[in-house]
Structures are given as structure tokens and as C-alpha cells.
Amino acid sequence: MAIKGSLKEASLPDVLQLLSMGKKTGCLGLSFHDSFGSIYFDNGRICHAAIVNRPLDTENSVYTLFTWTSGTFNFEAGVEPEDGAERVSVDPQSLLLEGARRVDEWSLIEKKIPSFDVVFSLDRAKLMLNRDPLSPEQEAMLPLIDGHRDINGLIRDSGLGEFEVGKALYGLLNANFLLPVGRKRTTPTLPRNASPLERRELASALYRAGMHEESLREFRALVEEAADPVASFHVGLIALRQKEYAAAVNAFMTAAPQAPSKTALLHNLALAYDALGQLEKAKLVIERALSSGGSGEPLIQLEAAVVAMRLGDYQTAKIRLSEARSLWTANPPPAIWFHYAAQVAAMTDDPDREMLLLSAAIEAHPESAVLLNNLAAAHLKREDYAAARDAAEKGIAVAPELPQLRRNLSAALEALSHADRQAATG
């Protein structure tokens, strides 16, 4: 299930609850103006969160992301944190109450600090007369408030989160200890001398946020300037999404010698060869993926089944489909597994199994227009025209743009009309 949209339409707490209840594993990428964040899930629990160029731990990153009330989000299943990233295991529910409190307070802070490009200096004369204790965060701010750093700089150099810095400044402003100097011209997201690692993190954040054209530009620059294999791999992933399969093959082959994850690269290379119709190459590559540690990955087993099916090796396809099914333990298999499993059943003249699989598929994925179309077609083959009509109508309600659904609905209605006419004249 693709989960993407606007934070104006679906708040981050709502999205977190959806991913938690669905026990999802993957990465939720978020973008807000020129900032990018990521929240990683492991079986519905938050295992890592980060914001590009912000030295925050997981919990403070999530609290900061709660303040993003506009922008976009995009969830990509199966994506894990970078090697070496801090890993935790946090129930999102435990962060929601504290997050809500911080957002409530943030609305007050925003009235005093509407923009992070504001620069303050200290009113040292008034500060010297102060007899009230300052908070630890305010004490940490004082040496940094120099009339040159904007609030973005204070967040960066203090190592505190947006909320802590905002709250500290809010108190100092209310006590009249700060003098506004002006606004700092917006700086690039990354400095010109940013390291390849920093640039890769930005490109990855853009990719996870669903901003593929922008991330492609960054990744291509890294490939040209630093021969970065991770960047080459991502260029291939974006080419796959854009259905530029030959370009995807070239990018994956470029990344292959130094790729950090051979299994993931081989899997995606097989997908590209499969899409190009180069099935023998796809078979060779997916078998290498299985033998290099991918046998425990259900999507790799599924791709091996698809390649075998396209080559007419239905026995191997059945075995691989069964292996893939056994690896999806926490939740039902995805819609695409049901799609190919039913196809193999149809190709091996097992209509009862095809119908059983499609019925189970609709129960697990009632909003899948493709599966509803497949079910309608299967009912048509069995001459169960009323059931075909019902399935096609449900599919059209979900995806009215699919022409196959309308063709199947038309065939079912025509057959039902013909039967009615025969009954009337019989």
C-alpha cells in the first residue's frame, strides 16, 4: 500500500498511528520547505529518526517533525536506516502525547519567532540586572547569540532541537533580553564544501520524500564527481521508477563492483532485465541474488517466481511463490503476490485454486483495483456473470480510470442481458 500525501491533509500523528497499527517496516520521508526528515519503522515501532543537517536523537527528531504542519510525506516499505545509525525501539503512541504538548506550545513560540532566519543579539545591560535563574537551554544559548547566527545556526551549533531552542528564545524574548538584528539571507541546504557523505544524505532524504527529480540531480552529480556506488544504485532505482529500464541496468552495473548491498542491487537489476524482456539475464541475476543471501527476502523469492513464470517454468514458479508466502508472517502477502500466484494457477489449468487465491486476495486487499479486475475476469471465464459484474463495479469505484475494468463490466452486462432475453423468449 502506497502511503503518501500532504501534511496539511493528514497530520504526522495520524500517519504514525496508521503505520504503527499496520505494523509497517520501512521509511517515512518528509519534506518541509528546504528541510528533509526520515522516520524508520520496524514492525510498527520507530527504530530511527533523523533530520538532514540536524544533530538530534530519534525522539527529538520526531518531536521536531511534529511541528511540520505542511509539506509532504512518502512511505517506502522495506527501507532500513543507514549502517551505523542509532537504533531504538519506540512505540509511536508514547511520543504522541508529548508531541501534542510541544505542538501546542509551539503555536505560542511561533507568534514570537515566525521564521528561523531571524538574527538576535543580547541586551547585555538588561541581562546583567537579571536575578531570576535561566534554564539550562537558555544558558547554553547565551554564548551563541552573537548578532550573526540566525535561529537555524543556533539550532545547529547548540546541538539542541528546534523545540528546545524555540522555547529558550521565547523565554528570553519575553524577558526582553534579546534584540532583533534582522533576517539572514536563506543559505543553501548544504554548504559548497559539503562532504560526499553529507550530499548523499541530502539526496537520500529527497528520494525518501518522493522528490525523485531533485534527488536524481544530486545523485548524478555524486556519480560524476565522486564515483559514488550508493549514488549509482539510487540512480538505477529512480530509473526503474521512471520505467527507463536500460538506464537502470547501466546504473546498477556501474554500482556493482563496490555496491554495499549486493543482494539489493542484484534484485533490482533482475527487475530491470525482466522489464526489458531479457528473461535469461533476469533469471541468472535473480538466482545470484538468492544464493548471496536473498533467499530469506520474500520480494526476491517473488521476483524469482515471476521470472520462472515468464519462462514457462511453472513448477519453479510455484515453489518460489510458496517460499515467498512463508516469509510474510506478520501480515498477509502484498497484492502483487496474489496477482502472480493467481496467474500461475490459471496458467496451470487450476481454476479452483485461482478463484480461491483471488477471493483471499480481495479479503486482504479490498481496495486493489487490479485484483478486483482479475477476479471479474476469473468469474467471466466461469460464466458467473453476476459475480463478474459485482467485482468490476467495485473495481471501478476504486479506480475508474482502468479500461480493463470497464471492458469486463461491459462483457458481464452483455452476457446478463443476453441471458435475460433468452429467458424472456424461452
Closest CA to 196 of 232, 242, 160, 236: 232
Fold of 113-183: Arc Repressor Mutant, subunit A (1.10.10)
What does the pLDDT look like over 225-280, one tens digit per residue? 878 888 999 999 999 999 999 999 999 999 988 877 789 999 999 999 999 999 99
Cβ 25 vs Cβ 42: under 8 Å: yes
Q: State residue 299 phi and psi, 5-degree precision.
A: -70, -30
Percentage of the chain exceeding pLDDT 70: 97
pLDDT at residue 186 in the model = 46
- Average of per-residue pLDDT across 205-215: 81
Confidence tier at 2 by pLDDT (50, 70, 90) = low
Kindly tell me if the per-residue pLDDT of 289 is higher than 70. Answer: yes
Burial class (CB in 10 A: 0-12, 13-18, 19+), 51: buried
pLDDT band at 187, cuts 50/70/90? Answer: very low
Mean pLDDT along residues 5-19:
88
In the predicted model, is pLDDT for residue 324 greater than 90? yes
What's the confidence (pLDDT) of residue 201? 80
Extents of the domains making up the chain:
3-107, 113-183, 335-426
Cα–Cα distance measured from residue 227 to residue 220, given in angstroms and rounded to the nearest whole number: 9
Domain 335-426 superfamily per CATH = Tetratricopeptide repeat domain (1.25.40.10)
The C-alpha atoms of residue 419 and residue 255 are separated, in whole angstroms, by 60
| Amino acid present at 367 | E
d(CA 345, CA 332): 19
Banded model confidence at residue 175, pLDDT cuts 50, 70, 90: confident
Bigger pLDDT: 285 or 166?
Answer: 285
What proportion of the chain, given as a percentage, has pLDDT over 90?
A: 52
User: What per-residue confidence (pLDDT) applies to 420?
Assistant: 86
User: pLDDT tens across 386-419, in order?
Assistant: 999 999 999 999 888 889 999 999 999 999 998 8
Task: Assign 188 a pLDDT band (cuts: 50, 70, 90).
Answer: very low
Q: Say if residue 195's pLDDT is above 70.
A: yes
Supply φ then ψ for residue 128, to 5 degrees: -65, -30
Q: How confident is the model at residue 183 (pLDDT cuts 50, 70, 90)?
A: confident
pLDDT digits (tens, 9 = 90+) for 326-356: 999 878 899 999 999 999 999 999 999 999 9
pLDDT of 204 strictly over 90: no
Whole-number average pLDDT of the chain: 88
Is the pLDDT at 178 greater than 50, yes or no?
yes
Check if the beta carbon of residue 362 is closer than 8 Å to that of residue 395: no
